[in-house]
Amino acid sequence: MKNESVKICCDAFQWMIDSAGHSGFSIIVAGDISDVVFYLQARAYDENQENKLDNIPRTVDPPKPFCLKMQNVIQYCPFCGTSLKKIASNNSSKMELLIKLHMKYDLSMQ
Ligand SMILES: [Zn+2]
């Protein structure tokens, strides 16, 4: 993913895009090239470690609400305030690639 870096607003935003699918906060690029959507996403576990949770024996159900991952649409860079529509329109080919790469992380698709 690092070699697919997008020229964007700031290093913090780039780092968040490169963190897609990992535990902690990340930025997910979704939608389609004519209407790019950016999500601020939080995960308790890396995407490839979630299936390990299925094998943990449970004697009680987790408390509700119990959330291991969540996302919310954002329209501006949370670090520098740049319009994400502007970033998307200036990087259309990279956005198209990121949409494909991030599709498996987009919680609205699950
Ligand atoms: Zn920024």
Q: Residue 82 C-alpha to ligand 1 middle, in angstroms? A: 6
Spell out where the chain has E strands: 24-32, 35-43, 69-74
- Predicted local confidence at residue 6, as pLDDT: 60
Q: Residue 91 C-alpha to ligand 1 middle, in angstroms? A: 14
Instruction: List pLDDT tens digits, range 81-108.
Output: 999 999 999 999 999 999 999 999 999 9
> What does the domain layout of the chain look like in residue ranges?
2-109
Query: In whole angstroms, how far apart are CA 108 and each of 7, 15, 39, 58, 101?
Result: 26, 22, 10, 27, 15
Instruction: List pLDDT tens digits, range 25-84.
Output: 999 999 999 999 999 999 999 988 877 777 777 787 777 777 889 999 999 999 999 999
Phi-psi region of 45 (alpha: psi -120 to 50; beta: other; left: phi over 0): beta
Q: Residue 8 C-alpha to ligand 1 middle, in angstroms? A: 7
Q: Residue 56 C-alpha to ligand 1 middle, in angstroms? A: 39
